[in-house]
């Protein structure tokens, strides 16, 4: 029984470390990237929209309301838009967590 507790403890510690690294990468990502609408393949979007609440849930390729992070300055070269359809002012909302 002690070995199973050690395994569970190790798994939880690994999960906590992975979450911490993920949060650090997300903060760094928003400084060098921008959301680009209309370029994500089905299942490869980076965040939720008004139709779904999580990354990876898009169901259509190049859906105009789904977005993916791309390096700053490359979105329009890839055929995407910097704002979601119908956005006022032509700017995307800030990434979640900011």
Q: What is the mean pLDDT of residues 30-55?
A: 85
Is the residue at 92 inside a domain? no
Query: How many separate domains does the chain show?
Result: 1
Domain that holds residue 43: 2-87
Residue 68 forms part of a structural domain: yes
Tell me the helices (H) and strands (E) count for the chain, helix number first.
1, 2
Tell me the pLDDT of the chain averaged across its residues: 76
Going by C-alpha positions, the residue among 15, 26, 95 that lies closest to residue 82 is: 95
Instruction: State mean pLDDT over 83-98.
Output: 64
Higher per-residue confidence, 63 vs 8: 63
pLDDT of residue 19: 45
Residue 38 lies in a domain: yes
Mean of the pLDDT values across residues 80-92?
A: 75
**Residue 98 in domain:** no
The answer to whether residue 41 sits within a structural domain is yes
**Gap between the Cα atoms of 89 and 30, Å rounded:** 20
Residue 93 falls inside a structural domain: no
User: Domain for residue 40, yes or no?
Assistant: yes
């Amino acid at each position: 029984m002690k070995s199973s507790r050690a395994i569970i403890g190790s798994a939880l510690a690994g999960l906590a470390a992975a979450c911490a690294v993920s949060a650090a990468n997300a903060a760094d990502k928003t400084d060098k990237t921008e959301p680009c609408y209309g370029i994500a393949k089905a299942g490869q979007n980076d965040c939720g929209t008004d139709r779904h609440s999580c990354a990876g849930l898009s169901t259509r390729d190049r859906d105009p309301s789904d977005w993916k992070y791309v390096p700053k300055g490359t979105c329009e070269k890839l055929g995407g838009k910097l704002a979601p359809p119908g956005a006022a002012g032509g700017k995307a909302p800030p990434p979640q967590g900011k």
